[in-house]
Amino acid sequence: MIAEKENRKYIGECGLLKGLSVDDWESYENTLDGLCDSLNNGDWNKEGTLVEYPSICFGLEILKREINATNPFELFPSDFTRNEIPIPINGLVWMGEKSFMLEQIRDKLEQSFNCIKLKIGAINFDEELSLLQYIRREFSADEIEIRVDANGAFTIDEAMVKLNRLSELDIHSIEQPIRQGQYETMAELCKKTPLPIALDEELIGVHTREEKKKMLEQINPQYIILKPSLIGGFKSSEEWIDLAEGMGIGWWATSALESNIGLNAISQWVYAKANPMPQGLGTGQLYTNNFQSPLMVENGHILYSRKGHWNLNGYL
């Protein structure tokens, strides 16, 4: 999303993920084009009309922050942007064959990550357990925190059995053990689980404060995971935080394959929230055409390096 104000262009990222974002509709491009036309004509008060387009809300928030920034792309000034104070992050291990996942685990350990997150549910569960056992043989829970993400892969019948087996390995938490939308079953799992459950996809498509409150009260999870691109930006995320903290529910934030435009905004925002937990932030290493930025990953942390610089490849 690019808009112009007072003869200067600004850029925001609308992180639409096909098949996952609730605003993945045919009307998306027309809605985005219409918004850009409104912005270029001086009408910047459009948030109330975009509730059902979470990724566009996110992009608009970035634009507004950029317009008011003293320094380009310094959206939430802090020690993160000014003094290179880093944010601890988890090292993500992608699903795949056992040998591929093992290679990634070794790589993350060599990079000094203290928190590793494994995507599970793609291969045989016993093989996945053996990967987790490999980490635990080498490192205690005090040395390496392990998070797992099932992405809703467990069936209702097998979920508790698998949670019990995972709990034997000092797992920090599991994200979305069963498919989202099964509130009663998820609530029962969260009540009886031997290891903390974090809701992820469950938050997508829940727009109003009343809906959020009702869902959290019914399921009562141990954690929620905030992906601003998918849940309506920072204002919506802060609403989730306010409700969760009032109920004693923990949280952390995660990027969702954004470019460095979106990742920069999420990183700066989450630092300002002063959450000490490792966050789910990466530097877009999957991309071959990402924007160059000061964001770097070193020793299991993400930082805003004073040696780095922005290069938008002619977009602005």
151-161 burial, b for 16+ CB within 10 Å, e for fewer? Answer: bbbbeeeebbe
Structural domains counted in the chain: 2
Give pLDDT, residue 5: 80
pLDDT value at 115 more than 70:
yes
In a domain, 230, yes or no: yes
Decide: helix, strand or coil at residue 117.
strand
Domain limits at 6?
Answer: 2-67
Q: Report percent pLDDT > 90 for the chain.
A: 65
pLDDT value at 283 more than 70:
no
The HSE-up count of residue 131 (CA atoms within 13 Å, CB side) is 30
Residues 104 and 243 in one domain: yes
pLDDT band at 162 (very low <50, low <70, confident <90, very high): very high
Residues 31 and 123 in one domain: no
Written as six digits, the tokens of 215 are 């869902």
Burial-class residue 124 by CB neighbours within 10 Å (0-12, 13-18, 19+): exposed
Give pLDDT, residue 166: 95
pLDDT band at 121 (very low <50, low <70, confident <90, very high): confident
pLDDT value at 271 more than 70:
yes
- Candidates 64, 119, 212, 213; catalytic one: 119
Residue 216: which CATH number?
Answer: 3.20.20.120
In a domain, 309, yes or no: no
The single-letter code of the amino acid at 23 is: D
* More confident position, 194 or 83: 194
pLDDT band at 48 (very low <50, low <70, confident <90, very high): low
Residues 27 and 144 in one domain: no
pLDDT tens, position by position, 95-111: 788 888 888 888 888 88
Residues 6 and 119 in one domain: no
Catalytic residue status for 213? no
- Average pLDDT rounded to a whole number, residues 107-117: 91
- Candidates 117, 212, 213, 227; catalytic one: 227
Catalytic residue status for 119? yes
pLDDT value at 131 more than 70:
yes
